[in-house]
Amino acid sequence: MNEAILAEGLVREFKGGIRAVDGVDLQVRPGEVYGFLGPNGAGKSTTVRMLATLLRPTGGSATVAGFDVASEAKSVRRSIGVALQDAAIDPFMTGRELLHLQGVLHGLSRAECRSTADRLLDRVGLTEAAERRVGTYSGGMRRRLDLALALVHEPVVLFLDEPTTGLDPTSRLALWEEVRRLNTEAGTTVFLTTQYLEEADQLAGRVGIIDGGRIVAEGTPQQLKAEVGDPALVITPADPERRDAAQEVLVRFGPEVEARPPGTAAARLPGGAARVAEAVRALDEAGISTASLDLHQPTLDDVFVAKTGRRLEGHGGGESPAAGRGKRGRRR
Amino acid sequence: MGRTAAVSGMLAWRAIILVRRMPSVFIPSLVMPLFILVATAGAFHGVGALPIGTSDYLAFTIPFATIMGAGFAGVNAGTTLARDIEGGFVDRLISSPAPRVSLVAGPFTAAGMRSLFTTTVVLIAGTIGGVAPPGVLGTIVVYVMAAGFGVATALWSMGVALRARTVQSAPLMQLVVFVSIFTSVAYAPRELQHGWLRTIADWNPVTRILEASRATELGGASWSDVWPGLGAIALLLAVLGAWALTGLRRLGRD
């Protein structure tokens, strides 16, 4: 098997001529964690559904684990594990019953179903809740069970469609840890769709950004961020009237950043943190006091903005490139 | 074949335990046939004087109640499938290498089993009400007719669910099943029906099913009474089986 997932010009057109996926090319290597990042409606889930044989492509071709998704669907299904959006789990069944059912679906014997269920329940920390109906589980428990269900037959490729949407931070971290463990210990290829930048950043070796059914950028998170350019120095003058003056000072160090929060001045800073002190001195010399200062490293959101002109939903929505991480300081 | 049977059995087991865990589904489907038995037999007690083949309207109503219970079981198979499609549970099943036909075979097996259960309850209630059981062969015919109708209505309802893919299609499933029962010989034999109702009853396959069940229930059944019922079930299973399977094939295509 050369590629775990290979898609060429993959298209899905729905009734009414709506092209949810419009010529997607993908190459995911065995053992890789590939992050598929995009806003709601970008075509992430439709792509996953085609790769998981739940939806027939209307154009292009794709293979998963070396099998064609259209003509060798059954072989694809034997090779993949799928945890779809919203953890579609029957709330009236218990965790153990669902694992047993999943085992039967994948052709496991009764004894294998039992031992696999025990092992996976233990692995995802649900042994104590195994006999409880899933309707009583928390969101995090459901997601962990969903992951366990996808692993019943030890798939070589695992599709996780927005696995942490709606989870609290603790549950999210626990799930990330499990995905990492799965990838490093079992060598499972993971195709992960997400609208969370941090998730893609933390988990994925490579990231594809999809918008309007097309891949607009692809590479390692570091490569993509490097494409955006230098870090941005964003300052908020203590006196809002001095914003323009502050901007004039900052553009001496690098090009102006136009997408920034109101009332702030911002410029790219070639050299990054090493030149912050110099910029601050220049502001001092111009008599400008700052209420806050932020050195904003490029994020995948900035990559998204650079490629599409828009921000990802739920990630700042028109706010600054400084809205997230960076060194924060406060002077005078 | 073995895999199909194993997965279908598993899905039938799931359907049965879900019914047990959802009293809101289970209780009406059990109570309604009993209610029909008691209420109809009580309200139309005097009809026993008419030429309906028996002087006991309760005995006349028992097959109607068993068929009604089977209809509920069948419709429930469809609503459960619609719920599974809407909630995404079906995606889990069809993204596995399990034979897709199990998705239909499991629930219809469960519908048949549930029909046997409600039929047993109705027959016990009839016995308590003073109607003598129809003997071993007669009882088998009553069970076969009920289970056959339960499976047929399950196929109908699942075909609807596979096309509509929403629980909101449940009223359509129910409407067709109940209209087909009420325009048959549920309340009165064909001899007492006139005009367009008689014409519909003549052509309605449910008429043959009820007549076969009723003839054995009333104790005078012969092969000539039973085979039209078996033929009607075979016809319904063939047509509605194709209806459900073509719906199943559509999954993932639209």
Please give the average per-residue pLDDT across A217-237, as a whole number. 86
Spatial distance between the Cα atoms of A223 and A214, rounded to a whole number of angstroms: 19
Cβ–Cβ gap B95/A82 under 8 Å: yes
Per residue in A156-208, pLDDT tens? Answer: 999 998 888 878 888 888 888 888 988 998 899 999 998 888 888 889 999 99
Output the average pLDDT for chain A. Answer: 86
pLDDT tens profile A160-171: 988 888 788 888
Q: Which tokens is A285 given?
A: 């010399």
User: pLDDT band at A222, cuts 50/70/90?
Assistant: confident
Q: Are A129 and A52 in contact (CB under 8 A)?
A: no
* Chain B: closest CA distance from residue A52 (Å): 6
Does any CB of chain A come closer than 8 Å to the CB of residue B123?
A: no
* Mean pLDDT, residues A258-281 taken together: 84
- Domain limits, chain B: 2-250
Q: Where are the alpha helices (DSSP H) in chain B?
A: 2-21, 23-43, 57-87, 89-94, 102-128, 135-164, 170-182, 195-203, 205-217, 223-250
Q: How confident is the model at residue B10 (pLDDT cuts 50, 70, 90)?
A: very high
Interval B198-215 mean pLDDT: 94
Coil, helix or strand at residue B68: helix
Q: Which of A96, A99, A104 to mutate to test the interface with B (most CBs of B within 10 A)?
A: A104
pLDDT tens for each residue of A40-70: 888 998 999 999 999 999 999 999 999 999 9
Mean residue pLDDT of chain B comes to 89
Does B219 or B82 have the greater pLDDT score? B82
Closest CA to A53 of A38, A64, A66: A64
Say what the pLDDT of residue A323 is.
34
- Residue B29 CA: distances (Å) to CA of A261, B75, B121: 61, 10, 11
Specify the pLDDT at position B48. Answer: 61
pLDDT tens sequence across A302-325: 888 878 777 765 554 333 333 333
Amino acid at A141: M
Question: Is 70 exceeded by the pLDDT of residue B69?
Answer: yes
Q: Name the CATH architecture for the domain at A5-219.
A: 3-Layer(aba) Sandwich (3.40)
Chain A residues near residue B92 by CB distance under 8 angstroms:
82, 84, 88-89, 102, 105, 149
pLDDT score of B12 more than 70: yes
- Among left, alpha and beta (phi > 0; psi -120 to 50; other), residue B203 is alpha
Q: Residue A200: CB partners within 8 Å, gap ≥ 6? A: A35, A37, A192, A194, A207, A221, A300
Distance between CA atoms of A224 and B77, rounded to whole angstroms?
Answer: 50
- What average pLDDT does range B51-76 have in this prediction? 85
CA–CA separation, A59 vs B106, rounded Å? 34
- Shortest distance between the Cα of B225 and any Cα of chain A, in A, equals 42
Q: Are B173 and B78 in contact (CB under 8 A)?
A: yes
Q: What is the pLDDT of residue A328?
A: 35
Pick the residue from chain A with its C-alpha nearest to B83: A90
| pLDDT at residue number A38 | 86
DSSP labels, A123-169: HTT-STTTTSBGGGS-HHHHHHHHHHHHTTT--SEEEEESTTTT--H
Q: How far apart are CA B235 and CA A302, in angstroms?
A: 64
Q: What is the mean pLDDT of residues B67-73?
A: 94
Percentage of residues of chain B with pLDDT beyond 70? 93
In a 3-state reduction of DSSP, which class is residue B116? Answer: helix
Cβ burial of B133 (10 Å; 0-12, 13-18, 19+) is middle
Chain A residues with CB-CB distance to B4 below 8 A: none
- The pTM assigned to this predicted structure is 0.80
| Whether pLDDT at B40 is above 80 | no
A→B contacts (Cβ < 8 Å), by residue, are 14-15, 52-56, 74, 77-78, 80, 82, 84-86, 88-90, 92-93, 97, 101-102, 104-107, 133, 149
Q: For B190-201, what is each residue's pLDDT tens digit?
A: 888 888 999 999
Domain at A225-298+320-329: CATH code: 3.30.70
Residue A331 in this model has a pLDDT that exceeds 70: no
* pLDDT exceeds cutoff 50 at A288: yes
Cβ distance A90 to B89 less than 8 Å, yes or no, reads yes
Domain layout of chain A by residue ranges: 5-219, 225-298+320-329
> What pLDDT shows up at residue A160?
92
